């Protein structure tokens, strides 16, 4: 069939297998163009490995460090003529590329929050990999079923303490409007912490440690975002920000529990990029379109793969093994985004941006093209007029 993008709000309900594979290959090529990383991981487990930062982490581990990788994700295969989700196509492409280079790569598609997937991952590690020396935790999920009680929790993106309104970019209509968001209830806050906080990261590390599949001196990293003041009411000071505070709490707890192995847990604060998760955050997409224009002009613009390549080469596996941290004990990959000159430029543009000035003040086109690329559309060298088979299986 010929596959075209069908965008519905902040998702595209179709995806292109050849385009997704080409996207993965571009990321692999980028990593291979960088200097080789010495002393990188040998066996990495990536939880949330199919898109965004998790996929880029997996590529950095496999193709930058020659690591064997086990990827966990929750994706939908193609069925009855419907295309698979992009993470499915990405992961098939990644496994094929890794195997072609003689690297072990295997995947588990299912609910990472469940005990079942944790058990399956441990079995896979025991039978195929031995011990894991890097665990990346990169889940972004709207809901979580508690593995013990069966209760379902939903994460929300809401301000805390008071209702909040701010500018919002409607990417379908290419307009900037005012959007109002109701203040979170206590239940919204606790549910978001339950889904996007650190509890499940702790459960993963506990299960891996109890099964004796963590190597001495292993590292584990989870991802965080802080961002500029214009997004704080909805991000840092909102429900998702509370979940990130819990992630930092979990980091401390995991550090304690890994002490006996000489292991370490880190939280890396990453740059704002276009992913399926970030495009759903109200107001953040407008900030990203402004940020991209400024960073492309002033320098330092990065996507997921440049960020994760730099995380591995300049933070996790350099400096004689000491990971550079800020005063709060966090890895700062958002250092270039948060530079004063970049943020001053954002603050200058923010009050002036409106529907009439979108083209002049934002990188709307760049944002839209990156959004479509998440689904495999608009990738150089792909013939979108060619018939393509939507059913793609893992070999
Ligand atoms: P994403 O939507 O691209 O990826 C989410 C991943 O989680 C996918 O692999 C998906 O399959 C997997 N997943 C979701 N629910 C799952 C489940 N129940 N079981 C198994 N896998 C599941 O998201 P992203 O933007 O790459 O976000 C990853 C992390 O990075 C998040 O913690 C996010 O807060 C953080 N982060 C993102 C940005 C950004 O701008 N996108 C910036 C800084 C930090």
Ligand 1 atom closest to the CA of 50, numbered from 1 = 9
% of the chain residues with pLDDT over 70: 100
With tokens 């003529």, the residue in question is 81
Please report the pLDDT score of residue 81 as a whole number.
87
E-only strand ranges, the chain: 7-8, 11-12, 43-47, 68-73, 105-109, 132-137, 143-145, 152-154, 164-170, 175-181, 214-224, 264-269, 331-332
- Dist. CA 270 → ligand 1 center (Å): 12
Nearest protein CA to atom 14 of ligand 1, as residue: 141
Please report the pLDDT score of residue 351 as a whole number.
95
- Dist. CA 107 → ligand 1 center (Å): 16
Cβ atoms of 235 and 188 closer than 8 Å: no
Rounded-to-10 torsion of CA 175, 184, 231, 15:
-60
- Dist. CA 207 → ligand 1 center (Å): 21
Cβ atoms of 51 and 120 closer than 8 Å: no
Buried/exposed code over 4-14 (b: 16+ C-beta within 10 A; e: otherwise): ebebeebebeb
| Residue 43, φ and ψ in degrees, nearest 5 | -135, 110
- Dist. CA 50 → ligand 1 center (Å): 9
Closest CA to 383 of 19, 12, 14, 1: 19
| Residue 278, φ and ψ in degrees, nearest 5 | -75, -25
Nearest protein CA to atom 12 of ligand 1, as residue: 48
Q: To test ligand 1's pocket by mutation, which of 108, 139, 288 has the most ligand atoms within 8 angstroms of CB? A: 139
Cβ atoms of 70 and 121 closer than 8 Å: yes
Closest CA to 84 of 395, 391, 394, 382: 391
- For the chain, the average pLDDT equals 96
Cβ atoms of 118 and 210 closer than 8 Å: no
pLDDT in tens, 82-131: 999 999 999 999 999 999 999 999 999 999 999 999 999 999 999 999 99
Both tokens of 200, joined, read 């499940």
Cβ atoms of 41 and 263 closer than 8 Å: no
Closest CA to 76 of 97, 57, 91, 59: 91
On the question of pLDDT at 249 being above 90, the answer is yes
Q: Is 276 in the pocket of ligand 1 (CB under 6 A)?
A: yes
Measured CA to CA, the distance from residue 102 to residue 96 in angstroms comes to 10
Both tokens of 271, joined, read 């740059």
Q: Is 218 in the pocket of ligand 1 (CB under 6 A)?
A: no
Q: To test ligand 1's pocket by mutation, which of 23, 53, 112, 141 has the most ligand atoms within 8 angstroms of CB? A: 53
Cα distances (Å, whole numbers) of residue 38 to 66, 193, 259, 332: 10, 36, 24, 21
Residue range 277-301: mean pLDDT, rounded: 91
| Residue 372, φ and ψ in degrees, nearest 5 | -65, -35
- Dist. CA 381 → ligand 1 center (Å): 27
- Dist. CA 318 → ligand 1 center (Å): 26
Rounded-to-10 torsion of CA 53, 363, 177, 140:
0
Residue range 69-85: mean pLDDT, rounded: 96
Name the DSSP class of 264. E
Ligand 1 atom closest to the CA of 278, numbered from 1 = 41
Buried/exposed code over 371-380 (b: 16+ C-beta within 10 A; e: otherwise): bbbbbbbbbe
pLDDT in tens, 166-216: 898 998 899 999 989 999 999 999 999 999 999 999 999 999 999 999 999
Nearest protein CA to atom 5 of ligand 1, as residue: 140
- Catalytic residue positions? 235
* Bridge-based pairing state of the strands 152-154 and 43-47: unpaired
Q: Is 120 in the pocket of ligand 1 (CB under 6 A)?
A: no
pLDDT in tens, 323-380: 999 999 999 999 999 999 999 999 999 999 999 999 999 999 999 999 999 999 999 9
pLDDT in tens, 38-66: 899 999 999 999 999 999 999 999 999 99
- Dist. CA 276 → ligand 1 center (Å): 8
Cα distances (Å, whole numbers) of residue 87 to 48, 177, 314: 10, 31, 27
Q: Is 54 in the pocket of ligand 1 (CB under 6 A)?
A: yes
Q: Is 358 in the pocket of ligand 1 (CB under 6 A)?
A: no
Q: Is 104 in the pocket of ligand 1 (CB under 6 A)?
A: no
Please report the pLDDT score of residue 96 as a whole number.
98
Element (DSSP H or E) covering residue 53: helix 52-59
Cβ atoms of 7 and 172 closer than 8 Å: yes
3-state secondary structure (DSSP) of residue 289: helix
Ligand 1 atom closest to the CA of 56, numbered from 1 = 26
On the question of pLDDT at 165 being above 80, the answer is yes
Cβ contacts of 88 within 8 Å, gap of 6 or more? 50, 75, 76, 77, 78, 109, 392
Q: To test ligand 1's pocket by mutation, which of 23, 60, 84, 275 has the most ligand atoms within 8 angstroms of CB? A: 275
Q: Is 364 in the pocket of ligand 1 (CB under 6 A)?
A: no
Please report the pLDDT score of residue 282 as a whole number.
75
What is the chain's alpha carbon radius of gyration, rounded to the nearest angstrom? 20
With tokens 């709000």, the residue in question is 9
Q: To test ligand 1's pocket by mutation, which of 75, 138, 243, 251 has the most ligand atoms within 8 angstroms of CB? A: 138
- Domains located in the chain, CATH noted: 7-148+193-282+302-338 (3.40.50.720)
Q: Is 331 in the pocket of ligand 1 (CB under 6 A)?
A: no
- Dist. CA 22 → ligand 1 center (Å): 21
């Amino acid at each position: 069939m010929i596959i075209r993008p069908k965008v519905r709000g902040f998702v595209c309900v179709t995806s292109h297998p050849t385009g997704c594979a080409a996207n993965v290959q571009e990321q692999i090529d980028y990593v291979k163009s960088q200097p080789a990383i010495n002393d990188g991981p040998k066996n990495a487990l990536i939880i949330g490995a199919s898109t965004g930062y998790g996929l880029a982490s997996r590529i950095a581990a496999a193709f930058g460090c020659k690591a064997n990788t086990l990827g966990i994700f929750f994706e939908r295969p193609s069925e009855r003529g419907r295309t698979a989700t992009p993470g499915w196509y990405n992961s098939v492409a990644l496994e094929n590329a890794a195997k072609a280079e003689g690297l072990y790569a295997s995947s588990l598609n299912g609910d990472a929050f469940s005990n079942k997937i944790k058990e399956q991952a441990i079995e896979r590690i025991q039978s195929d990999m031995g011990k894991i020396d890097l665990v990346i935790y990169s889940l972004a999920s709207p809901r979580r079923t508690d593995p013990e009680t069966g209760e379902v929790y939903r994460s929300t993106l809401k301000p805390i303490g008071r209702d909040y309104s701010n500018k919002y970019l409607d990417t379908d209509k290419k307009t900037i409007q005012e959007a109002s968001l109701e203040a979170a209830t206590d239940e919204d806050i606790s549910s978001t912490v339950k889904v996007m906080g650190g509890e499940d990261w702790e459960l993963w590390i506990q299960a891996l440690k109890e099964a004796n599949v963590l190597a001495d001196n292993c590292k584990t990293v989870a991802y965080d975002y802080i961002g500029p003041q214009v997004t704080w009411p909805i991000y840092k000071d909102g429900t998702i920000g509370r979940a990130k505070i819990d992630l930092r709490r979990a980091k401390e707890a995991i550090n304690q529990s890994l002490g006996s192995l000489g292991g370490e847990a880190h939280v890396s604060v990453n740059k704002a990029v276009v992913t399926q998760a970030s495009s759903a955050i109200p107001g953040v997409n407008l900030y990203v379109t402004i940020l991209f224009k400024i960073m492309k002009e002033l320098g330092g613009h990065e996507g997921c793969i440049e960020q994760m390549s730099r995380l591995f080469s300049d933070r996790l596996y350099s400096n004689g093994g000491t990971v550079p941290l800020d005063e709060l004990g966090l890895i700062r990959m958002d250092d270039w985004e948060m530079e004063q000159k970049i943020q001053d430029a954002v603050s200058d543009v923010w009050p002036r941006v409106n529907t009439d000035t979108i083209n002049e003040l934002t990188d709307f086109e760049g944002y839209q093209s990156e959004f479509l690329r998440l689904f495999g559309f608009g990738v150089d060298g792909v013939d979108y007029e060619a018939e393509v088979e939507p059913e793609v299986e893992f070999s």
